[in-house]
Amino acid sequence: MLRVCRAVLGAGPDADDAWSETFLAALKAWSTLDEETNIQAWLVRVAQRKAIDITRSAARQAIPVDELPEALVETARDAHDHELWARVAALPEQQRLAIAYHYLGGLTHVETAELLAKTPEAVRRAAADGMKTLRKNHEQ
């Protein structure tokens, strides 16, 4: 679920918050789930909604600061991860969500299509186009 949150929000504290909120919400609603519920798809949907909530909340709030924060020291892996998440975040929304849910969330294209209210073919195409863009940008 953390990968899905990072794909939607980018790496950082917002994604971590969405991930935490996902499991808090899941625990609260757990007893009301039907036995036939696809738990993985349900958790991805909860994560998506929590990520959207954080995005909306951040858009409405200004964050004043007196001083600029000190620069963070990053390892090579951290820098690569941030670059990857930045490239994923730069994808068009449908491609980003298709990649997040299918490749990072482990959902099938059919399950992803249900979440996005699209056809499985459209989700498959969006995921393929997004992966093509990511590979192309990586080679440059």
Residue 46 and residue 62: Cα distance in Å, rounded?
26
In a structure prediction context, what are the per-residue pLDDT tens digits for the chain, which is 140 residues long? 777 778 777 888 888 888 888 888 888 888 888 888 888 888 888 888 788 787 777 666 666 777 766 655 555 455 556 777 788 888 998 999 998 888 878 888 888 888 888 999 999 999 999 999 988 877 76
Tokens representing 19?
């991930």
